[in-house]
Amino acid sequence: MGFMKNEENQEVIAKSWIFPFVGLVALLGLAVLPVSRTSPEERVVRARAKAEVLAYQVAQLYKESLVSSPDEGQALTLSRGPASASTEQRFIPGTPSEGLMGQDPWGHAYSYRLQSIPDGKIRVEMRSAGPDGVPGSEPDDDVVLVLAF
């Protein structure tokens, strides 16, 4: 009888490595997987926040690229004119009014469009095409932000 008990103990000992091994593999599997997966709502919030930052950057770049249009016959000078003299603001020729900038949470570039509006302000429209990467394919998944500076 003692002989049978020894064989059973050896079988149990031989099989006892399986549980720690499975546990170790499970822990390694969890370590490899991202711990915090972002929900679609969180990605939209991140896309909107990044679009706002990029819109400020684009607006700043284009405000710096604005030049005053001198009246005909006047040379472009860097000195200030009288306060009553109105100067029309325009973009430097060749400055693109739309393009791509940055990357949204889905890995696609943001598109922007600029417009000059009255009072020397700039209207910036930043657009993320959303998870599918196709602008306008599904109205609910595009992230659009319009700001004026």
Q: Quick one: pLDDT at residue 112?
A: 93
* pLDDT tens, position by position, 50-104: 999 999 988 888 877 765 544 444 444 444 444 444 444 555 555 678 899 899 9
* pLDDT tens, position by position, 24-55: 888 877 777 665 567 888 888 999 999 999 99
Mean pLDDT of 9-16: 66
Contact 145, 125 (CB under 8 A): yes
List alpha helices for 33-135, DSSP H.
40-64
Give domain limits for the chain: 38-70+86-149
Going by C-alpha positions, the residue among 143, 84, 72, 75 that lies closest to residue 112 is 143
Q: What is the pTM of this model?
A: 0.57
Distance CA 115, CA 123 (A): 5
Going by C-alpha positions, the residue among 98, 147, 99, 143 that lies closest to residue 123 is 147
Q: Which one has a higher pLDDT value, 72 or 119?
A: 119
